[in-house]
Amino acid sequence: SFHAAQSFMFACVAIVGKKNNPLFLRSFNSSTDELKFHYIVHSALDVVSTRETAGAQEPFLGLLFPTEEFRVYGYLTNTRVKLLVVVQQSHNKDTEVKAFLERLHSAYIKAVSNPFHQMGEPIESQRFEMELSHLVALAS
C-alpha cells in the first residue's frame, strides 16, 4: 500500500513561552532529526521578535522563513506565547496553515486551562497530544 511512509503536511509543531522558553515540540516527520526542528524553531524566534517589535497587528504572523525542505509559520497569542509550525515545502497554502494555527491555539487554551497545568511549564497533556495528532492528520 501507499501508506508505508506517512507524510504529513505539518512536519513539526512547537509552542514557545513569552520568555522564549520551550513549552512543547512534537515532530510528525520521522525522516528528519528532531534536533533539526529545535534549531529551525530557535531560528524562527528571531523573526517572531522582530515582527513583535514592529507591532504585529494580528495573531497569524504568516511565513517566518523558508528552508530548503520546510517553511516555518508563526502565530502569536495575546499572552505572547508563540505557536510555530514547520510545514513541508511542497505544501504552502497560507489559508490552511492559518486555520491549523487557529485550531492549535484553541487546543492550547484548553490544555493550559486545565487546573493541573502550571502556567509557563511544558505542556504534558495526553489529551492535548491526541488532539494535536488529530489536527495534523486531518490537515494532511
Q: What percent of the chain has pLDDT over 70?
A: 93
Q: How far apart are CA 90 and CA 71, in angstroms?
A: 9
| 3-state DSSP assignment of residue 66 | strand
Q: What is this structure's pTM? A: 0.89
Q: What percent of the chain has pLDDT over 90?
A: 63
C-alpha cell at 46: 528571531
pLDDT digits 0-9 by tens, 25-35: 999 988 888 89
Note the Cα 118 to chain centre separation in Å.
20
